[in-house]
C-alpha cells in the first residue's frame, strides 16, 4: 500500500514538472515571438517610411535646391555653397546625436567660442558624414564650429591641417542622389573641356522638397522658430547661407513670394546667442548660423 502511494506521488510529481516545463517553453516561445514581431514591425515601419519618401540628408537637399534641373550643375557664380554644405554636415551630425557643443560654462562662452565635441561615434551610414565625424572625434584639442567649416572646406593657411579637407563634396553628393534615383549622370562639352553633369530625373522628389520649404513659411507658418521642425528650420537657414533658397521661392506668385521672403528674413534677423538658450534649441545649428552671419 505504501509503495503504491509512493509510485502515485512520483507520477503526479513528474506530470506536474512536465506541465511546468511545457508552460515555461510556451511562455518563452511567446516572448520570443513578440520580440520578433516587434522587430519585424520596426523593420516594416522603416521600409514603409523609405518607400513613402526618399530620405535625403540636409546636404543633399541643399545641393538639390541649387542644381539646375536640366543642366545638372550649380551656378558658376555661387561661391557660398561649398562652405554651406560643410555647415550642413555639422548640423546633420548634431540632428543625429553624433556631435554637440561643449558646455557653455559659468562665464557663458559665446557660441562661436565653444568647441565641437563628439557625442557618439556610431556610424551614420553616410560616407561624408562618417569622414567628418572621424575628424571631429580624433582632433585634440577640439575645434570651434567656424574652424570646422573652414577646415572641412580646405580654407586654411596651415599646411598641417589640409588633410581635414573633404574633397569633391558636390560630386559625391550628386552621386548619392543618382543612387537614390533623383538625378542621372551625363557628360557635357563646354567648348574647352568636358564636365560631368547630373540632370534631374525624379521631378516629384524635388517638387516635394520645394513645397516643404514654401509651406514652412506660408501655409504652415507658426511664427516661432522653436515650434518649427528642427530639420526644416535648419534647411531654410542653411539654404540661405548656401545662396540657393531663392530657387525654392522663384515659382511663387508675387504676393506669396514677398510674404515668404519676409518671413524668411524674420528668421534670419533672430539672434543666435539668444535663440540657443531657449528650451530644446539645437545649439550647434545656431552656432553654424552665427558662423555664417557674423
DSSP 151-209: HHHT--S-GGGGGGPPPSHHHHHHHHHHHTTSB--EEEE-SS-EEEE--B--HHHHHHH
pLDDT tens for residues 35-62? 343 333 333 333 333 444 579 999 999 9
Q: How far is CA 35 from the centre of its chain?
A: 29
Mean pLDDT for all residues in the chain:
84
Give the residue carrying C-alpha cell 535625403: 56
Query: Which pLDDT does position 6 carry in this prediction?
Result: 43
Integer Cα distance of 273 and 184 in angstroms: 41
Instruction: Pick 96 or 8 by higher pLDDT.
Output: 96
Cβ neighbours for 292, distance < 8 A, ≥ 6 positions apart: 83, 84, 87, 241
Summarize pLDDT for 150-172 with one digit per residue, the tens. Answer: 999 988 888 888 899 999 999 99
Place of cell 572625434: 137
| DSSP conformational letter for 103 | P
Q: Please answer whether residues 59 and 92 qualify as being in contact, where contact means their C-beta atoms are separated by less than 8 angstroms.
A: yes
Contact 198, 73 (CB under 8 A): yes
- Over residues 11-34, the mean pLDDT reads 47
101-137 per-position pLDDT tens digit:
999 877 788 999 999 999 999 999 999 999 999 999 9
- The pLDDT score that the predictor gives to residue 176 is 96
Helix, strand, coil % (nearest 5) of the chain? 60, 5, 35
Task: Say if residue 93's pLDDT is above 90.
Answer: yes
Q: Taking residues 7-33, report their average pLDDT.
A: 47
The torsion angles phi and psi of 191, rounded to 5 degrees, stand at 65, -65
Beta-carbon count within 10 A of 67 CB = 26
CA 170 to chain centre: 16
- 6 grid coordinates: 509512493
Q: Which of 35-49, 72-86, 116-130, 261-275 has the lowest mean pLDDT?
A: 35-49
Amino acid at each position: 500500500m505504501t509503495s503504491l502511494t509512493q509510485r502515485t506521488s512520483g507520477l503526479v510529481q513528474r506530470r506536474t514538472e512536465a506541465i511546468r516545463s511545457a508552460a515555461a517553453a510556451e511562455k518563452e516561445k511567446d516572448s520570443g515571438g513578440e520580440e520578433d514581431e516587434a522587430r519585424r514591425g520596426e523593420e516594416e515601419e522603416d521600409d514603409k517610411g523609405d518607400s513613402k519618401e526618399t530620405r535625403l540628408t540636409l546636404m543633399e537637399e541643399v545641393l538639390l535646391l541649387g542644381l539646375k534641373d536640366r543642366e545638372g550643375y550649380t551656378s558658376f557664380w555661387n561661391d557660398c555653397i561649398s562652405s554651406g554644405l560643410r555647415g550642413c554636415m555639422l548640423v546633420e551630425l548634431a540632428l543625429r546625436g553624433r556631435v554637440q557643443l561643449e558646455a557653455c560654462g559659468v562665464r557663458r562662452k559665446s557660441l562661436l567660442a565653444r568647441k565641437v565635441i563628439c557625442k557618439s561615434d556610431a556610424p551614420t551610414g553616410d560616407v561624408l558624414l562618417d569622414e567628418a565625424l572621424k575628424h571631429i572625434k580624433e582632433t585634440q584639442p577640439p575645434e570651434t564650429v567656424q574652424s570646422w567649416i573652414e577646415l572641412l572646406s580646405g580654407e586654411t593657411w596651415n599646411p598641417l591641417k589640409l588633410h581635414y579637407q573633404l574633397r569633391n563634396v558636390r560630386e559625391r553628393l550628386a552621386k548619392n542622389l543618382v543612387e537614390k534615383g533623383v538625378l542621372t549622370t551625363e557628360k557635357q562639352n563646354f567648348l574647352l573641356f568636358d564636365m560631368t553633369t547630373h540632370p534631374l530625373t525624379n521631378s516629384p522628389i524635388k517638387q516635394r522638397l520645394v513645397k516643404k520649404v514654401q509651406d514652412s513659411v506660408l501655409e504652415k507658418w507658426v511664427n516661432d522658430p522653436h515650434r518649427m521642425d528642427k530639420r526644416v528650420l535648419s534647411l531654410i537657414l542653411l539654404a540661405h547661407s548656401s545662396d540657393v533658397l531663392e530657387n525654392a521661392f522663384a515659382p511663387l506668385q508675387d504676393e506669396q513670394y514677398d510674404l515668404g521672403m519676409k518671413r524668411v528674413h524674420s528668421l534670419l534677423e533672430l539672434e543666435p546667442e539668444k535663440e540657443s538658450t531657449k528650451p530644446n534649441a539645437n545649439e550647434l545649428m545656431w552656432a553654424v548660423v552665427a558662423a555664417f552671419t557674423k
